[in-house]
Structure 1
Amino acid sequence: MILTVTPNPSLDRTYEVPALRRGAVLRAAADRVDPGGKGVNVSRAVAAAGRATTAVLPLGGAEGALLERLLREQGIDVAGVPVSGATRVNVAVAEPDGTLTKVNAAGPALTAAEAEALLGSVGDRSAGADWIACCGSLPRGLAPEWYGRLVARAHAAGARIALDTSGPSLTAALRERPDVVKPNTEELAQAVGRPLATVGDAVRAAEELRGLGARAVLASLGADGQLLVDGSGTYYGTAPVTRVRSNVGAGDASLAGFLAAGGDGPDALASALAHGAAAVRLPGSAMPAPGDLEPSTVTVTRDVPGDRALTEPAPGV
């Protein structure tokens, strides 16, 4: 069972338009609303694969009630923590060439009591969990150290932690030695404070995160594939995609595939790549089912192309 923690969940509404024109009235060719938030998406992908998952998240207002209903309809056990503010609604506009424009709301501010209740709910539901995936940005009211507290509590209870966050929240949690962290290229560059221009740059940055406390680093390099850097060495993998429909939630689907395959080694990396590639071929933030996967297109190797230039280099911060 994979338990997910999403401190700042959302409802994600996606509109597909022929072209995005600033200042114009646009008519959508299609639209959909999905449960959103990085941990929520991990739970959705795990459930789509037919596996057990529990989503721990704050829920508020009519938006929170709709989010809970949508998750339960997808076979997800929901451990909702009531909060006074309304769950946020995010909007994405998708164009036929794969360009995606997103507007993410800030979300409600959590009180100290609500933040503590969220930690308590994780503890109450963590028994029997193979992994606890802590994902996404922290809402207003939660200090950057909140994830670190969660990692420490989970480890004390004997659970394994996957952490997908960035900035001060990631930095503060590294000292608690999360079992795996999952940055993308930009987040990896931000964490080490320098630009990343090649796959080799990304490998060195991942090794630095391991030196700061991460036991393993699963790094998403966008169109350039993924890296897994752990105690056994470095693996590099790719899964070509001919047409990108939407990349919303692709990284979350990738993490779900990694954890569902055990969360360790090249087989788990291959599963992560297959799930991420399948997600970008789907509309909105739809999560892939087993029938959407194309494992034959995945390649994983220890032969890392260190000099290969990244398609989207990341500036350091």
Structure 2
Amino acid sequence: MARVVVLTPNPAVDVTYEVAEQRIGETVRVSGVTRRPGGKGLNVVAVLRRLGVPAVALQPLGGATGRWIEESLREAGIDAVVVPAPGDTRTTVAVVDGRTHPTLYAEPGDALPETTWRELADAVARLCEPGGFLIVSGSFPPGTAPERLAAVIGAGRNAGARVIADTSGDALLAAADAGADIVKPNEAEAMEATATGTLDAAAAALLDRGAGTVVVSRGADGLGALEADGSRHRQPAVPGVRGNPTGAGDAATAGLVAALHSGLPLAEGLRWASVVGAAAVLAPVAGSINVADLPPLADRLPAGDRPALPLPIPTR
């Protein structure tokens, strides 16, 4: 099977604080702390690995935090390719209490020099292969010029990989302009980036800019997709799922790509995205799923909206 290359342009050390209750302006005692390599792309790689998909994590890393991320990835058995970056890799903090939506504190990260971007594009060209995928996932360092993303996407496409961009803001527009095969914003990101007032208008604007397909995650309202030929797809979310939604969108991206990587059509990919995203909500931290949760979660969907069983993806 051709590999999936996942570029995380702005990785982080993800710290999760567990508290009894989130309270502003007060001293809050932390009952549990989890530290793990983070950034949306690294979440995607971790879930792809659980789904049995061959995936390579590509990221710029620098300083002591960068070395910790690299060592942690190696210890977890993740195939990681690191491009050296100046400065220290950033940290993000999530505060969770099981009552309300987690509160996230995300450092911006340091700008990457032109040499680092060239090395990332060269690594994409070297790692990608025909029949594989390049996933560009997450935020970008401050000051990233659109042509940097265009060069990365071009390198992946020239190597024969299909490119999926899960990002927001100017980077989302740049990915569409560069001809990404699929762009995958959430509903708010799609409308904000395109300055449109409806989801249909936002998807149409991204297609007009050059995206092949627009897949939009809508939280409890599921997912939708609009293809360049006008084909539309709607997929409901798995009902009755409660837990930590941090990283659910990344898991949905992994589910979508795992299905497409197995040769399944887009509609089936959306079904997998729904179920794998729901499994991530049940997990304690982002980038984690229990594959045993997938069949019972699929059974909660209406019959016509469930991924095909038996599972086309290994459950280990």
Two-structure CA RMSD over aligned residues (Å): 1.9
Larger CA deviation: 54-63 vs 108-117: 108-117
Residue matched to 1:312: none
Residue matched to 2:314: none
Normalized against structure 1, the TM-score is what? 0.88
Q: For each residue in 1:92-132, what CA deviation from the matched residue of structure 2 results, as whole angstroms up to 9, or x when unmatched?
A: 10122242111001112211111211111111211356110
Q: Distance in 1 between matches of 2:239 and 2:288?
A: 16
Residues matched between the structures, number: 297
Residue 34 of structure 1 aligns to a residue whose secondary structure is strand
- Alpha-carbon distance change, 52 to 193 in structure 1, aligned in 2, over 3 angstroms: same
* 1:218 and 2:215 correspond: yes
Normalized against structure 2, the TM-score is what? 0.88
Residue matched to 2:313: none
Residue matched to 2:275: 274
2:33 alignment partner AA: D
Contact 2:241-2:278 within 8 A present in 1 as well: no
Matches within 5 A, 1:212-291: 212-230=209-227, 231=229, 233-262=231-260, 264-291=265-292
**Which ranges of structure 2 fall in alignment gaps of 5 or more residues?**
306-316
- Return the offset for 1:29: 2.6
Structure with greater contact order relative to length (CA < 8 Å, sep ≥ 6): 1
- Alpha-carbon distance change, 52 to 91 in structure 1, aligned in 2, over 3 angstroms: same
Identity across the alignment (%): 35
Matches within 5 A, 1:32-51: 32-51=34-53
Contact 2:83-2:119 within 8 A present in 1 as well: yes
- Alpha-carbon distance change, 297 to 166 in structure 1, aligned in 2, over 3 angstroms: same
Q: For each residue in 1:219-266, what CA deviation from the matched residue of structure 2 results, as whole angstroms up to 9, or x when unmatched?
A: 001111110222361111113343432221111110010000016421
* 1:296 and 2:294 correspond: no
Q: Distance in 2 between matches of 1:69 and 1:277?
A: 29
Residue matched to 1:111: 113
Matches within 5 A, 1:146-225: 146-195=148-197, 201-225=198-222
1:9 alignment partner AA: P
Q: Distance in 2 between matches of 1:46 and 1:129?
A: 16
2:298 alignment partner AA: P
Q: Distance in 1 between matches of 2:258 and 2:250?
A: 12
Contact 2:283-2:290 within 8 A present in 1 as well: no
Contact 2:64-2:88 within 8 A present in 1 as well: yes
**Which ranges of structure 1 fall in alignment gaps of 5 or more residues?**
196-200, 303-317
2:240 alignment partner AA: T
Q: Distance in 1 between matches of 2:97 and 2:266?
A: 36
1:289 alignment partner AA: N
Q: Distance in 1 between matches of 2:170 and 2:288?
A: 29
- Return the offset for 1:53: 0.7
1:31 alignment partner AA: V
1:251 alignment partner AA: G
Q: For each residue in 1:119-155, what CA deviation from the matched residue of structure 2 results, as whole angstroms up to 9, or x when unmatched?
A: 1111121135611001112113521332122122222
Larger CA deviation: 234-243 vs 107-116: 234-243
